[in-house]
Amino acid sequence: MGARSVIKGRGRMEGGNKVIVTPHRHAGVFMIAKGRDCTILTKNLLPGKAVYNEERLSVQNEYGTEVEYRVWDPFRSDLAAAVIGGADNISIKPGAKVLYLGAASGTTVSPVSDIAGP
């Protein structure tokens, strides 16, 4: 199942609040919008694994399948901040080949790998 097949899912975040995950305009990026706040997510390429102790969210999609997302923190990743800030083109999409130089703790490169896929 590709990232585009996940249209909407319901899951729970902190405090047991129900959330709705929707696709972002950048392919492979998803979001949870609450009022003026927006949390961006990537579909976890390796469900059950965290790279830098990021928050993860399991959501049941419209087909009843569990999908795990990872929160992409814009305070730890310049690319995530650019997405939140409205960047027009991040040049990374599902199926892209990416050479990422400067992977320190994985706060940008691991979500990029989630987006690009295997």
Per-residue pLDDT tens for 71-110? 999 999 999 999 999 999 998 999 999 988 876 777 888 9
pLDDT value, residue 36 = 76
The 3-class secondary structure across the chain, one letter per residue, is: CCHHHCCCEEEECHHHCEEEEEECCCCCEEEEEECCEEEEEEECCCCCCCCCCCCEEEEEECCCCEEEEEECCCCCCHHHHHHHCCCCCCCCCCCCCCCCCCCCCCCCHHHHHHHHCC
Its pTM stands at 0.80
pLDDT (tens digit, 9 = 90+) per residue, 36-82? 788 999 999 999 999 888 999 998 888 888 999 999 999 999 999 99
pLDDT (tens digit, 9 = 90+) per residue, 9-44? 444 445 556 778 999 999 999 999 877 788 999 999
